[in-house]
Amino acid sequence: MKILARAAEAIIIDKGRTIIKKRIKKGYRIKSLDLKLRKERTNLEYKLINKARRIGINAPSLVEKKNFEIIMEKLEGKQVKEVLNEENLSFIAQEIGRQLALLHKYDIIHGDLTTSNMIFFNNKIYFIDFGLGFFSQKIEDKATDLYLLKQSIMSKHAKFFNKFFNEIIKEYKKNYDNSENIMNRLKIIEKRRRYTI
Amino acid sequence: MIVLGIESTAHTFGIGIYDSKKNKILSNAKHMFKPPLGIGMLPREASEHHYKECDKILKQALETAKIKKEEIDLIAFSQGPGLGACLRVGASIARFLSLELKKPLIGVNHCIAHLEVAKVTTPAKDPIMLYVSGGNTQIIAFDEGKYRVFGETQDIPVGNLFDVFARNAGLPMPGGPVIEKLALKGREYIPLPYAVKGMDVSFSGILTTASKMIGKKKIEDISYSLQETAYSMLVEVTERAMAHCNKKELVLAGGVAANKRLRQMCDTMCKEREARFFVPEFQYCCDNGAMIAVLGAIEHEAGVETKLKDSRIKTKWRTDEVKVSWI
């Protein structure tokens, strides 16, 4: 068994052309909560990736789901956080913005949008790790998705932040009619947290 | 160098004295404002408490440290974040002492002081810190030249969740210790909204749901479920932040660090991922003057000083706004 990666809640096992994402038991939480979270997240992640692929989002193709495991296509590319530079910035931003608009149009909330959870592969941007995702029509949830993306770009790519995030939003707005409400809510969410002026 | 540190961000007024040459905390005097049953803390009343206590606390700090006022080399104070009325007390006393003794003044960030005192009083070197109290819930670590907030609450702090729930249920303040005791007798886990958003958390949904159960479910079971849910969320995002920043040490700090269940959960999580877990001695975990003195000494050594005209309090001073020149 070759372990490709040890994430916080799952291990990724290399199976050649596929990978197994296995949610491991967490000893710190009570059993009922642990089982519930692992089961729910595995089921939901499978559904979300399935739906995302059907509406045309680049996401790994699915093979099989077991209790706490999803078997899926192995993407050979690199994480966006590793490859992002001044030259490919516009292309990557536009691809993220376009696909994010599509996800939200179909009420898919990713839940953990970071440049670690996007893969640059075959000149395309793939979305992975829908483990904290869910379906929702709420403006609040869509705006939170953007908020998390903004935060993660700010802490990881401070240098590119303005240009990168603005281009993502520009493309997002272009592809999503409801975006104005969401952008307004984003401002409210930012004011809600502690110590903001 | 002998540093006097003044803490007054919220309910606690504290003065600590730190000898930076010997790397030793000489004293850590404090007194906490407790509002009457059923009422939350009013900032003005807390600040009045601080004014009443400050003289006594200063004497106590000097006596325990066996130091004369004249021997002090630097005055450090909590400049923020916190309640304006309370912060102003500490800042005024700091300015006064600085002028009286003709010693330099330094205003420090309260949240970062929690982390730096942990580095002095435990073996932790480059930890991630889960900082949980009635006023703050943050996951902080040093990364690329700054202390950064990797996760935080999007609404209320976890200590506030317990305090407000306790108030709603007619339990005394602070709510945490009372709820901890009740939770030990809880048997049934009642599902509550589990709100993890990336590395952030949100507690307002739990508060509403749990408050609605008061009188309908056993208070012991609600307390148990409150703790299990809120702490599982915190430990989960902490683990995610540790994986994200590749840190191998965890420090738990803030008033909520007193909770045994939370400590146990952090310890288990760290063991499972082969990381080390530290909790500073409790007097340095909750709000205290010693940690302010420690951070003041560290910053002063790196050449930082606060001029009188720059000593205004900063009620909304974010951890990631602080310029870090000492690491």
> CATH says B2-115+284-321 is which class?
alpha beta
B143–A28 C-beta distance less than 8 A: no
Confidence bin at A158 (pLDDT 50/70/90)? confident
Whether A107 sits among the annotated catalytic residues: the reply is no
Domains of chain A plus CATH, in order, are: 2-73 (3.30.200.20), 78-192 (1.10.510.10)
Assembly ipTM? 0.85
- Which pLDDT does position B155 carry in this prediction? 92
Instruction: Judge whether residue A56 has pLDDT over 90.
Output: yes
Residue among A116, A89, A113, A90 at smallest CA distance from A103: A113
> If you measure CA to CA, which chain B residue comes closest to A129?
B198
> Is some CB atom of chain B closer than 8 A to the CB atom of A144?
yes
Please list every residue in chain A whose beta carbon sits closer than 8 Å to the beta carbon of residue B243. 6-8
Q: Looking at residue B30, what DSSP letter applies?
A: E
- Inter-chain contacts counted by CB atoms under 8 A, chains A and B: 83
How do B128-132 and B249-253 pair as beta strands? parallel
Please list every residue in chain A whose beta carbon sits closer than 8 Å to the beta carbon of residue B271. 27
pLDDT digit string, tens, across residues A71-94: 999 999 999 989 999 999 999 999
- The one-letter amino acid code at B168 reads N
Confidence bin at A194 (pLDDT 50/70/90)? low
Of B148, B197, B272, nearest to A111 by CB-CB distance is B197
Between CA B78 and CA B314 the distance in angstroms is 9
Burial grade of A173 (CB within 10 A; 0-12, 13-18, 19 or more): middle
pLDDT digit string, tens, across residues A125-142: 999 999 999 999 999 999
A28–B269 C-beta distance less than 8 A: yes
* Residue, of A196 and B154, whose pLDDT is higher: B154
Distance from CA of B56 to the nearest CA of A (A): 32
A28–B272 C-beta distance less than 8 A: yes
Bridge partners (DSSP) of residue B78 are B108
A6–B240 C-beta distance less than 8 A: no
Of A8, A132, A148, nearest to B239 by CB-CB distance is A8
Please list every residue in chain B whose beta carbon sits closer than 8 Å to the beta carbon of residue A6. 243
Between CA B9 and CA B317 the distance in angstroms is 12
Contact residues for B192 (Cβ-Cβ < 8 A; gap 6+): B205, B206, B209, B210, B225, B226, B229
| Averaged pLDDT, A2-28 | 92
> Is some CB atom of chain A closer than 8 A to the CB atom of B197?
yes
B141 phi/psi in degrees, rounded to 5: -150, 160
- Which pLDDT does position B4 carry in this prediction? 98
Bridge partners (DSSP) of residue B24 are B19
Can you list the residues of chain B whose pLDDT is less than 70? none
Confidence bin at A65 (pLDDT 50/70/90)? very high
Taking each helix axis from N to C terminus, what angle separates A179-192 and A139-156, rounded to the nearest 10 degrees? 60
- Which pLDDT does position A151 carry in this prediction? 87
- Which pLDDT does position B187 carry in this prediction? 93
Q: To which H or E segment does residue A85 belong?
A: none
Positions of CATH 3.30.420.40 in chain B: 2-115+284-321, 125-279
Taking each helix axis from N to C terminus, what angle separates B175-183 and B219-245, rounded to the nearest 10 degrees? 110
- Which pLDDT does position B152 carry in this prediction? 92
Instruction: Judge whether residue A196 has pLDDT over 60.
Output: no
For domain B125-279, which architecture applies?
2-Layer Sandwich (3.30)
Please list every residue in chain B whose beta carbon sits closer than 8 Å to the beta carbon of residue A33. 189, 194, 228-229, 232
Between CA A120 and CA A82 the distance in angstroms is 9
> Is some CB atom of chain B closer than 8 A to the CB atom of A35?
no
Please list every residue in chain B whose beta carbon sits closer than 8 Å to the beta carbon of residue A193. 152-155
- Which pLDDT does position A4 carry in this prediction? 87
- Which pLDDT does position B243 carry in this prediction? 87
Angle, vertex CA A129, rays to CA A124 and CA A134, nearest 5: 115
Of the candidate ranges A2-6, A145-149, B266-270, B303-307, the one whose mean pLDDT is the lowest: A2-6
Residue B285 has which token pair? 């975990």
Confidence bin at A195 (pLDDT 50/70/90)? low
